[in-house]
Amino acid sequence: MRAYIVKRLIVAVATLLGMSILVFALMRLAPGNITDIIFESAGYVDEEDKKRLEEELGIDRPIAAQYGRWLADLVRGELGKSYRFDRPAWEIIQPRLPVTVELAVLALVFSVVLGVPTGVISAIRQDRPLDYVLRVLSLAGLSMPSFWLGMIIILVLVRSLGWIPSVTYVSPFDDLWANLAQFLLPALAVGYRSSALIMRFTRSAMLEVLREDYIRTAWAKGQREGPVVWRHALKNASLPVVTLIGIEFAFLIGGLIVTETVFNLPGVARYLVDAILWRDYPIVQNLTMLIAVVVVLANLAVDLLYAWLDPRIKYETA
């Protein structure tokens, strides 16, 4: 197991290195740069001042030198300085990170709590009215964009109750209940789509496992439905579901842009779009690398969970 983890970590580092090259190159391929945006907003362009600013920001250097400096700073944990705000990038990212993480975790909790049980129930009630109802609900969840559902929720609350979640971010350390009231609705809007996907995967995996010989033997011996379904069948059907949950969490970290905008949440996903428009390279590059790290670590965690869920899995280093 230890050798496998070391091997996966080496692959993860190589993957992140490739991602860093891709992100850095794509940012430089975009037309314009931060100096153009600054001078256009000021209404004039002085070539001498522009060159002086480029030297100060270090973007007049060769591309390879800029990449090497950024990568070295990244390894040391120095995220550089925001070109637009002239402040350390971490000071801008750090207060926004808990917002996105909290929303992603709550959405994932909703999706698992809703998706796994309904998937199991749909499988054991295959082709019955309850199965058809749950499949229709899951199809609706896959069809409706989360931001659209969020806007509908807000409109219904305003029209029927005359209440709307706070439009100003409330920290859980300041007021926990106000924070939950602010995050539960966007988390439910995002989690509904993920729960529909998890429900479909769970149903499909459970249908396959329920046809196995050992499940039929358990039924033939008169075992109760609860232990057979929830203890034996679900555990053996959970591998593809766990894989999907890991992928969904990584997707949620970087895919909450519109939802954060609809509910006015100051998260990193929403801020990433603004940073791209401003050509604020340190912010964009570091946020994108953060998302890449989350994806890689989520995949590694899922692979390690396999051995715990199914002891028959043995990792080979060859």
Domain locations in the chain as residue ranges:
2-93, 99-266
Q: Is the pLDDT of residue 295 over 70?
A: yes
Q: How confident is the model at residue 318 (pLDDT cuts 50, 70, 90)?
A: very low
What sign does the CA torsion over 129, 112, 268, 279 have? negative
Q: Determine the 3-state secondary structure of 88 from DSSP.
A: strand
The pair phi, psi for residue 274, each rounded to 5°, is -60, -40
Tokens of 140: 């609706």
pLDDT of 43 reads 58
Q: What is the pLDDT of residues 134-161, one digit of tens each?
A: 999 888 888 887 777 777 877 887 777 7
Q: Is the pLDDT of residue 1 over 70?
A: no
Assigned CATH class of 99-266:
mainly alpha
Could you tell me which residue, 241 or 57, shows the higher pLDDT?
241
Is the pTM higher than 0.95? The answer reads no
The pair phi, psi for residue 150, each rounded to 5°, is -60, -45
Could you tell me which residue, 42 or 106, shows the higher pLDDT?
106
* Nearest Cα residue to 196 out of 102, 278, 110, 93: 110
User: Would you give the DSSP letter of residue 230?
Assistant: I
